[in-house]
Structures are given as C-alpha cells and as structure tokens.
Structure 1
Amino acid sequence: MTKGFKIEHPNIPRSLEKANFQDIFYEEEPYLSNCMITNAIIDNEEIDRVVLSKVIFKNVTFINVSFKKIDMTDVIFENCDLSNASLSEGIIHRVTFKDCKLLGVDFSEGNLGNVSFENCIANLSNFTEARLKQVIYDSSSLQSANYYDCKLSKVEFYQSDINDVDFTQTSLKGIDISTCTFDRLNVAFESLAGCEVSPEQAIGFATLLGLKIKQ
C-alpha cells in the first residue's frame, strides 16, 4: 500500500458503450468519451490534440502512435501496450495505467495530476520537463527513465525499480523512494535534500559522498 497522500481516481460511469478507436474520425474534433475499447490494435496513427474523457482501454496495443498534446481526463488503461508512444505536452488528469507496458513512452513537457502507474513496465520512459502532482508509481519498473528538469509535488515511488533513473536538475524534496530498489541514480546531491530514503539507501548515498561508515 502506498502512503502519504491520496489521489483522485478516474470517475467513470458503470455502463459504457463499446467503441472502436476509429470512431474518433467521425467527430468534428478528435474526441472520444463514455466508451470502452477492448482487444484492439491501434497502429500508425498520428493525431494531435486528441481528447479522451471517461474511456477505458483494455487489452489494447498501440503501435507507432503519436498523440501530442493529448488531453485525457478519467481514463483507464488496463493490460495495454503503449511502448514508444508519443504523448508529449499532454494534459493527463485522473488516469490509471494498470499492468501496462510503457517502454520508452514520451510524456515530456506534460502535465500529470492524480495519475497512478500500477504494476507497469515503464523503462526508458521520458518525463523531461514534465509537471507531476499527486502521482503514484506502485510496483513498477522505471529503469533508465528520464525525469530531467521535472517539477514533482506529492509524487511517490512505491516498491518500484528506479535503477539508473535520471533526476538531473530535479528536486526530490518530499519524495519517498524508501521502498524502491536501485544500484545507482543520476542525481545531484543537493537535489536529494528532503528526499525520504531507507537507512540502507542513506548508507549508500553516504558512501558515494566518500564518507566512511563505522559500525
């Protein structure tokens, strides 16, 4: 269980109509709402400013897609593959990614609020210059993810693999990484001020500083 703060979960009606992603092309604007898309493959789509509201994607694979400046509110992705998708400059609010493959997904310059990543594989994902507020990573893998120059507020990494994550120019004040595993992080020591770590992690950081720990 995560701790420290609560996030708002997607607010989705109990009854949703089944839809195809291609239905988006029948709208004047690229907009989908109040629907469920399941067991589908969405490939080679490049659409800017897609708007999704109250949508569930389940067992959906996205291949070679670019949805820059996407606007998502109250959306769930369950057992989906969005690897290498471009969601840069997106507004992502009350969104859950559960059991998803997110290898190399581009969230750069995005604005993420009340977002949870649950049991996801998000290695090499890119959050460069993104703003994250009330975001939880729960039991997820983020190896070599990039958080360069991010603004983090009420963000928790819980029992996740953050090995070789790049936190360059990103403050970790108030961020809890105490339950995470990693061999190394790319982070300036001044950016660690106020970061919540375990005793074992503290010893590791002290060793990197050249301190000798006496038992």
Structure 2
Amino acid sequence: MFQYTDQQYEKVDFSQQDLKNGELKGCTFTRCIFRGTSMDEIWTSGCQFIECDFGGATFNASLHTRSAFTNCRFAGTNLFVAKFEDCKMIGSDFAGALMDGITIQGGDWSYTNLRQVNLSKQVLKGIRLVEADLSQSNFQKADLREADLTGAKLTKTVFKGADLRGAKMDRIDYRAFDLTGVRIDLEQAVNVARSYGAKVD
C-alpha cells in the first residue's frame, strides 16, 4: 500500500509496474505511460491524467472520485468492476477495453471512443456523452435518463429495453439504431417521427 499526495509527473514510464492497492490524491500525470501496469484496487481522488497511455493495464475493483482522464488511451485495458464517480473522461479512447461490471456515476464522457463496449444494465443517469462515438455498443436495459447524448454517434447501437426519457438527443440520427423496446418521452417521439419524414402539428 502506498499513498501519494499532490505529486506531479511528466513523461514518466510506469509500464509493467505493480501499483495495486495504492492511493493517489491531487496528483497530476502528464503524458505518462502505464502499459500493462497493475492498478487493481487503486483509489484516485481529484487526480489528473492527461494524454496518458493505459494500454493493457488492469484497473480491477479500482475507485476514482472526481478525477480526470483526458485524452487518455485505454486500449485493451481491464476495467472490471472499476468505479468512476463524477470523473472527467473527455476525449479518451476505450477501444477494446473490458468494461464488464463497471460503475459510472455521473461525470463527463464527451468526445470519448466507446465503440463496441458493453454497458448493458448500467445506471448512467445524467452522464454527459456529447459527440461520443457509441457505435455498435451495448446499452441494453441501461438507464440513460437525463443523459446528454447531443451529437453522439449511434450507428447500430443496441438500446433494447433502455430508458432514454429526458435525455438530450440533439443532432441524433434516430434511423441509425433500433428503437424497439426503448422508453422515450413525448419530445423524443416527435423527433423520431420527424426523422422519418412525418409532419407533426
């Protein structure tokens, strides 16, 4: 168990290191490399990770509170039962990441690449996903009420049984995904009809 508070790191290579069970408070990591690093059960609070590479790292059962992971790479990262509370993930790439059992409470995931990830049955109420790429991802039975999906890419995204009521869905192509079994509100229903050419009075 280790604890770092208010430390600054830039271009440091932490690849393949054992950083399990650590505690990071108010630390900043800029363009650092964590490839294949063990970060299981690590706790971060108020930290900033800027343009860091977490390729192949493990974050199993880790907890992140009000931390920021901006423009980071999570290619092949294992995020099994990781928890992100009010975190800022803007511009990060989760291509190939394992996100089974992840918990996301609020936060800003705008401009992220979440293609083909599995977020089924997740409670994602109020999350920001502006301009995020959610193509072919699985949101089956997810709670996306009050989420901001403005401009998100939803090509072949699975929403069966999901709840989208109150979600902001400006600049969305409703024809890009299957709406079967999706709960929507009246305003969204009108926009769906318009997207198929209907004239709503």
Give me the whole-angstrom Cα distance separating, in 1, the residues matched to 2:187 and 2:174.
18
Q: 1:200 aligns with which of 187, 192, 196?
A: 187
Q: Is the CA contact 2:163–2:183 (under 8 Å) kept in the aligned structure 1?
A: yes
- Aligned residue number for residue 18 of structure 1: 3
Q: How does 1:54-203 map to 2 (within 5 A)?
A: 54-188=41-175, 191-203=178-190
Match of 2:53, as an amino acid? S
Q: Give the count of matched residue pairs.
A: 196
Deviation at residue 182 of structure 1 after TM alignment = 2.1
Percent identity over the alignment is 18
TM-score, normalising length: structure 1: 0.80
Q: Is the CA contact 2:63–2:83 (under 8 Å) kept in the aligned structure 1?
A: yes
Deviation at residue 95 of structure 1 after TM alignment = 1.9
Q: Is the CA contact 2:135–2:155 (under 8 Å) kept in the aligned structure 1?
A: yes
What SS does the aligned partner of 1:57 have? strand
Deviation at residue 145 of structure 1 after TM alignment = 0.4
TM-score, normalising length: structure 2: 0.85
RMSD: 2.4
Deviation at residue 51 of structure 1 after TM alignment = 2.4
Give me the whole-angstrom Cα distance separating, in 2, the residues matched to 1:197 and 1:170.
16
Give me the whole-angstrom Cα distance separating, in 1, the residues matched to 2:159 and 2:24.
37
Match of 2:126, as an amino acid? S
Bigger strand fraction = 1
Give me the whole-angstrom Cα distance separating, in 2, the residues matched to 1:111 and 1:95.
10
- Aligned residue number for residue 21 of structure 2: 34
What SS does the aligned partner of 1:77 have? strand
Gap runs ≥5 in structure 1? 1-15
